Amino acid sequence: MRAGLTRCRMMPAIASMMDNPRLFLFIALSFVFLLMWEAWQRDYGTPMPVESPVSEAAAPAPADGSLPAEDLPIAGETGPVADQAAKLSLDEALLKRGERVRVITDVLDIEIDTVGGDLRRAVLLKYPIKASDPDTSFELLNDRLPNIFVAQSGLRTPDGEEPTHHARYSAEQSEYRLQAGQSELSIPLRWTSPQGIEVTKLYRLRPGSYVIDVEHQVRNGSAAEWRGREYRQLQRTQIAEYGQSQFIYTYMGGVIYSPEEKYEKISFEDMVEANLSRSITDGWAAMIQHYFVAAWIPPASEPDQYYTKVLSGQRYVLGLIANPVAVPPGDEKVFASRLYVGPKLQDTLGSVAPGLELTVDYGVLTVLAKPIFWLLEKIHSLTGNWGWSIILLTLVIKLAFYKLSETSYKSMANMRKLAPRLQALKERYGDDKQKLNHAMMDMYKKEKINPLGGCLPIVVQIPVFISLYWVLLESVELRQAPFMLWLNDLSSADPFYVLPLIMGITMFIQQKLNPAPLDPVQAKVMMVLPVVFTVFFAFFPSGLVLYWVTNNTLSIAQQWVITKRVEQGAA
């Protein structure tokens, strides 16, 4: 009895939704976008300002050299760096500088500082900062505020001086260039302790590669055993990428990989809340942002302790440190690592390290997004144009879901036929909602129409559409890709707002093809949606808007044909 009463109470709500399947779909989509927004706020939201921690540099290093000490603090600093006008004068106080060694290959232009042998600057020569200025390349690593992002490494030892990222190295020359036909470029930096420990920090770069081999070659020239452990870390501030739309949010922060947990985000907010401390074998650590990544990759089978720290000046550190290694007197030891600094090229990252391709962050729908990107890339290999590839991919997806869409549009066409009779019912019963809803349900049953059949097939397709959204948003291959006419950058908004306007028109046409809601308030809301989405999509990358325009146009054509067939069949 109670169950029957519950069903009766639910009938008006169900009937109201059935009155307009598009309203049901709008509610479902709104719920999906709400979940996406909450997930973004949780994962990518800007952390609260961080109080500067007590500097560890003033205290002695741990006896076992467990973790690299924090960078030397600014004299007299007691709180976070807040004065923006003074920031440029703080650069060297936050990161000490020595001489610079410039290294140029066909894809990288980097600078190594003799203080610590840090990689302080990395320019990606194949990636302009903006399409309108192709001669100015994108700078991923930099040691100047406000966008500090550097790669550091060194050795910790409990005895004597340490070749950490604070030690001063000597360089043989100030510039190296990879010559045509040269297979490898080596850059040695040298450091010697008073005890006779000689360390050569060696960078190796190769043509066409964003992978940098980094070695610490230790020669024990002392009379006692030397014990040390290698660490590598990435240090950065949090600042948005140049040209990033405030309406498009992609993850910036730390990520780690382990065979057990796979891909795991360590956001700046996570670093503020607690320091990471985890032992991982066969993993890697990276800092990622839209389109680009820097990642430290240790040797296979090496166990490392992964850690995070929050430093003064609102800087964040993610790193890993290996177990201690003993080097007897007169002996030598090589500590080897790899550093990837470059774009998130999906066909390259997987071959660099297991799971590194996951830094192309498609989220929970990766299982769908990866095949979609694979298909998009295959189409591009035929067309040579990412814009036409998006159009053809949208056509392929529409064909794949043709039968589902056909069911949906048939249901909507049948609902549209019933619109005059539904309006008559509304006029007959007036404000008696219960009798109106029961009469509507009886009519649907008599005509053998399932009102929810118009939206359920579309709801099934939502995961695919969201996956395609992330593919178009995350793939660096589409960054600054030209299409035609004025659209010379599919990753940027349409400068003349032509595509968003076309998309708004297609949404308006779709509204006219759908059954109108009986409720005048609902009808007004549905008619305003094209205007709202036009304004919203004006700030979206044109590649995404191109997809929606194509999808809407194909949907209109399919829906118009099916609606005409249903109406002619009834005539």
Domain ranges of the chain: 2-40+370-566, 73-240+250-361
DSSP-derived secondary structure letter, 47: P
Residue 69 pLDDT > 60? no
SS3 of residue 202 by DSSP = strand
Phi, psi of 84 (to 5 degrees): -65, -35
Confidence of residue 88 (pLDDT cuts 50, 70, 90): very low
Residue 41 pLDDT > 60? no
Which residues pair with residue 151 across a beta bridge?
119, 234
Residue 124 pLDDT > 60? yes
* pLDDT value of position 337: 96
Residue 47 pLDDT > 80? no
Residue 416 pLDDT > 80? no
- Dihedral of CA 134/87/320/69: which sign? positive
In CATH terms, is domain 73-240+250-361 a member of 2.70.98.90? yes
Q: What does the alpha-carbon distance between residue 122 and residue 150 come to, in Å, rounded to a whole number?
A: 9
Give the best-scoring range by mean pLDDT among 202-211, 436-445, 481-490. 202-211
Task: Read off the pLDDT of residues 490-521 as tens digits, 9 standing for 90 and up.
Answer: 888 888 999 999 999 998 888 777 666 656 66
* pLDDT value of position 73: 26
Rounded to an integer, the average pLDDT of 518-535 is 74
* pLDDT value of position 398: 85
Which residues pair with residue 236 across a beta bridge?
149, 316
Give the best-scoring range by mean pLDDT among 338-342, 409-413, 492-496. 338-342
Confidence of residue 354 (pLDDT cuts 50, 70, 90): very high
Strands 175-177 vs 100-104: parallel, antiparallel or unpaired: parallel
How does the average pLDDT of the chain come out, rounded?
79
For the chain, how far is it from start to end, CA to CA, in angstroms? 45
Confidence of residue 3 (pLDDT cuts 50, 70, 90): very low
SS3 of residue 476 by DSSP = helix
Q: What does the alpha-carbon distance between residue 239 and residue 287 come to, in Å, rounded to a whole number?
A: 12
Task: Read off the pLDDT of residues 239-272 as tens digits, 9 standing for 90 and up.
Answer: 755 545 555 678 899 999 999 999 999 999 999 9
Rounded to an integer, the average pLDDT of 307-323 is 92
Rounded to an integer, the average pLDDT of 130-141 is 89
Q: What does the alpha-carbon distance between residue 148 and residue 365 come to, in Å, rounded to a whole number?
A: 32
> How would you class 399 by CB atoms within 10 Å of its CB: exposed for 0-12, middle for 13-18, buried for 19 or more?
exposed
Rounded to an integer, the average pLDDT of 92-118 is 92
* pLDDT value of position 306: 96
Q: What does the alpha-carbon distance between residue 539 and residue 544 come to, in Å, rounded to a whole number?
A: 10
* pLDDT value of position 450: 65
Is residue 147 within 8 A of residue 239, CB to CB? The reply is yes
Dihedral (C-alpha) 342, 345, 351, 357: value to the nearest 10 degrees? 100
Q: What does the alpha-carbon distance between residue 480 and residue 132 come to, in Å, rounded to a whole number?
A: 9
List, in order, residues 6 or more apart from 311 with CB less than 8 Å away.
52, 53, 70, 71, 235, 317
Could you tell me the CA-to-CA distances from 565 to 186, 444, 515 in Å, in that order?
71, 20, 16
* pLDDT value of position 438: 77
Is residue 337 within 8 A of residue 232, CB to CB? The reply is yes
Q: What does the alpha-carbon distance between residue 471 and residue 375 come to, in Å, rounded to a whole number?
A: 11
Q: Which spans in 447-537 are helix H?
A: 456-474, 498-513, 520-537
Residue 235 pLDDT > 70? yes
* pLDDT value of position 52: 32
- Dihedral of CA 362/250/254/121: which sign? positive
Rounded to an integer, the average pLDDT of 20-28 is 45
Residue 395: closest CA among 226, 270, 183, 553? 553
Rounded to an integer, the average pLDDT of 226-251 is 78
Q: What does the alpha-carbon distance between residue 446 and residue 160 come to, in Å, rounded to a whole number?
A: 90
Percent of the chain at pLDDT > 70 equals 74
